[in-house]
Amino acid sequence: MSASNLMRWGGLAAVVAGLMFIIVDLIAALIFFDQDFSQDIVSIGLIFQSAMAPVAEALLLLGLVALYTRQSEAVGVPGLISFVVAFLGTVLSQDFVWANLLLGLGWALFGVSCLRSGLYPRVAAGLLMVGALVTGLVGTLVNGEAGSILTYIGADVVLNVAIAWLGFSLFLRREEAAGEPSW
């Protein structure tokens, strides 16, 4: 399999991860805000969420590698730093609350590198930056308040829509005969 095909499949991994995380966010919102659910439905939702999140995270990391690989030459060392911070933040955010700040900072910087490279849609890169910053800040500071949790879920959905959009853009890219991308 060629490197180009591997990058495309990595883009698909980012799409699937983004969609899976959106589903996880929606389940969390339903469980938190709708108290009419029976305990059995809440338990099933939490089990489904717990099973889906690690798979989505693994796909997200594969997608992040592919998204970075596509733009690595165009973004240089600052892009590499944004990739490493986003990668570490994504891995650590499952275990450490303060790693949410690292996650948000890393994905926001990665959004800047996507914008600088010019290889991905500008709106998607902008959504990535905004969603990542708000998710990182609110995720670190959430104290169980309904407004904060709603803001966090909304920002996380925006972040994951942007990730899916970037992955979709990478998956659909076609190479012309000369080797130049045809956007």
Quickly count helices (H) and strands (E) in the chain: 5, 0
Q: Which two tokens stand for residue 165?
A: 């959009």
What are 33's two structure tokens? 């805000």
Nearest to 45, CA basis, from 65, 60, 26, 62: 26
Number of alpha carbons in the 13 Å side-chain half-sphere of residue 168: 13
Tens-level pLDDT at each residue, the chain (183 residues): 788 889 999 999 999 999 999 998 888 887 777 666 667 677 777 788 888 989 999 999 999 999 999 999 999 999 999 999 999 999 988 767 778 889 899 999 999 999 999 999 999 999 999 999 998 888 777 755 656 777 878 889 999 999 999 999 999 985 433 344 444
| Residue 98 near residue 77, CB atoms below 8 Å | no
DSSP bridge partners of 113:
none
pTM score, whole prediction = 0.85
